[in-house]
Chain A
Amino acid sequence: MQKTEGEESKAENEEVKQVTLMTSDGVKMKVEISIVYEMEIVRSFIEVNDADHSVPFPLPNVSSHTLDLIIELVKNEYDDEFMKTFSHDELKEVLVAANYLNMKTLLDFIATAIANLLEKKSVEFIRNFFNIVNDFTPEEEAEIRKTNEWVFQDLDED
């Protein structure tokens, strides 16, 4: 797996402690322990078992692509500009992974980012974003919208 410049320069001075993670698509990734420690699910296992760090820790619910994004986010201290390059699917995948890995700071960061993205969006945009099927009849939907017309003003373009 790729190593970033940061890891290489640190490696010259002292060997950075790393943990190998195995992603759902079978990729083994060496990850700095400081990042792994943000993943409560891995941290608690390592601490309890004092495991051999060379044996890959399996993450059957996280793809290598998603794990790459997470590592970059943590390394860059949750950089907004970097996160803005994510596709909608990447945002959702990182949210699901953050929840599975029990990364509280990341979960809060990414949930807030998605909320900011959706704040001024239309109902139709939301249904697309979450793959939700509208189960209201047209009459029911019109009735709900009628009671609070003010919330449909000043929206973003979809």
Chain B
Amino acid sequence: MKRYRGSKVQKVKEVVVLPLELITQILLRLPVKSLVRFKSVCKSWLTLISDPHFTKMHFELAAAPAQRLMLISGRALAPKVLSLDMNASLNNYSAYVELKVSCAAFPSTFVRIGGSCRGFLLLDCFRHLCLWNPSTGIHKQVSYSRMATNGDILFSMFRGFGYDPLTDDYLVVQLLDRLGKPGNLAEVFSVRANKWKKVEAIDMMFMPTGSRFSQNMCGLLLNNCIHWLTYCIKLPMILSVIFAYDLTERRFLEIPLPVDFDDNKLHSRVLRELAGFLNLCATVEWNYSLEIWVMKEYKVQSSWTKTIVVSLDHLPTGLFFPICSTKNGDIIGNDGETGLTKCSKEGELKENRPHCNVSFRHPLAVYKESLLSLPCHTQQAVEDN
């Protein structure tokens, strides 16, 4: 290849100064981690990188935003918050970072994660809720609703967090099942309106699924719907059920399970988003096999397909609980102890990293990196609601 450099006498080098428009074009193509660092370049960059139009454009342009796993462990008064890059090798130690958390976002009590949406995590801090963007540190406190604190003994509490693109609003959804009282209660918190509102609940009798804070109680956001997998009582039977809250239509609905899904034989089952699809991961026999079902066409029962059967006896710990998928389709999961295992989409073992603080006993969630901030609540939004 020819280079012409030096073929002409160059004039005295002028400094090339890029207009802000072109700097913006470069910054839009950088990952969140770089941009948060470049906030300290100068005042105009801080303003640009914090600008809501810029952050929104940046989020929408990112074809595959970096996905990270958030792990909260440590003692109650000293939470240790780890964030792992899910697209790096499990054995790449620089992919693990410890986040310093502000006391305002993170009270010194133990927290639980109730959902994940557009870079924000919903934290239950036991006295209030908090919406927190771990990439930027932006956070907003949300009061508990009166219904959730009025002294009723709750049978179950399903909570989730999502975004309604039609109103550009973030919503916290909760469904309460009160012990011994008929009818479920459902409420939605609108960030724009900055208040809770009662909505029509789904008519189902739920079975307790262990702890109020178990993994299935935390909703899974996908296709503008928040999903929960649980058991319900349809006398004389107890059945597995997926129900969802549609954030744009603002109503609850049921998502059908696979026709031949036999949950009597299962040891554990969990809903996950893998590669953009709704997946049902079920351990069929302990230490033996895990089945992954994918709903290829959303809401269509006949599209459920059993895609992978992972032979667990080939894995280091004999267990595998999927958490998320990577850019190239591998599946990362907990190894039943405190480590992580990565399997290919064919179910072959690729990597295992024991002892990295991952455990379903501790709060854990997958989030995307984003620079987004939350909309301010306006008088208009309050009136609309």
**Among listed A8-16, A35-43, A50-58, A148-156, interface-contacting one:** A148-156
Please, what's the 1-or-0 string for B51-89, where 1 marks a CB less than 8 Å from any CB in chain A? 000000000000000000000000000000001000000
Q: How far is the CB of B340 from chain A (nearest CB, A)?
A: 19
Q: Bound state CA distance, A69 and B16, in angstroms?
A: 16
For B93, the closest partner residue in chain A by CB is: A154
The closest CB in chain B to the CB of A134 belongs to: B42
A115 near B29 (CB under 8 angstroms)?
Answer: yes
B94 neighbours in A (Cβ, 8 Å):
153-154
Taking CB atoms, residues of chain A closer than 8 Å to B103 are none
Check B5–A65 contact: CB distance below 8 A: yes
> A76: which of B1, B22, B33 is its contact (CB, 8 Å)?
B1
Question: Which residues does chain B contribute within 8 Å of A49, judged by CB atoms?
Answer: none
- Residues of B196-244 contacting chain A, CB below 8 A: none
Are A144 and B5 CB-contacts (below 8 A) given A96-B18, A118-B26, A120-B34? no
Number of interface residues of B (CB under 8 A): 47
The answer, yes or no, to whether A31 is at the interface (CB within 8 Å) is: no
A119 near B42: Cβ-Cβ < 8 Å: no
Name the B residues within 8 Å of A121 (CB-CB). 34
Interface centre among A27, A99, A134, A151 (most CB of B within 10 A): A151
Q: Which residues of B contact A144 (CB under 8 A)?
A: 39-40, 46
* Closest Cβ–Cβ distance, residue B198 to chain A (whole Å): 37
Residue contact B4 to A2, C-beta cutoff 8 Å? yes
Q: Give complex CA distance A151, B22 in Å.
A: 24
In the complex, A7→B78 CA distance in Å? Answer: 69
Q: Is the CB of B18 within 8 A of A119?
A: no
| Residue among B37, B94, B97, B98 with max Cβ neighbours from chain A (10 Å) | B37
Q: A50-88 vs B: 1/0 string, CB under 8 Å?
A: 000000000000001100110010001001001001000
Task: Determine if B17 is an interface residue (Cβ-Cβ < 8 Å).
Answer: yes
- Name the one of A79, A130, A132, A148 contacting B137, with C-beta atoms under 8 angstroms: A148
Which A residues are within 8 Å of any B CB, using their own CB?
Answer: 2, 4, 25, 27, 64-65, 68-69, 72, 76, 79, 82, 85, 89, 92-93, 95-96, 99, 107, 111-112, 114-115, 118-123, 126-127, 130-136, 141, 144-145, 147-154
Smallest CB-CB A-B distances: 9 pairs? A115-B29, A151-B37, A92-B16, A154-B94, A150-B97, A151-B36, A68-B4, A111-B25, A144-B40
Kindly list 6 other residue pairs between chains A and B, CB separation below 8 angstroms, not including A114-B26, A134-B41: A69-B4, A96-B16, A121-B34, A123-B40, A132-B41, A152-B37
A-B contact pairs, 25 of them (CB 8 A): A27-B8, A72-B2, A79-B1, A82-B1, A89-B13, A93-B16, A96-B18, A96-B19, A107-B25, A111-B26, A114-B26, A118-B30, A120-B34, A126-B38, A132-B42, A132-B45, A135-B43, A144-B39, A144-B46, A145-B40, A147-B102, A150-B83, A150-B98, A151-B37, A153-B97
Residues of B within 8 A of A (CB): 1-5, 7-8, 10-11, 13, 15-19, 21-23, 25-31, 33-34, 36-43, 45-46, 83, 94, 97-100, 102, 135-137
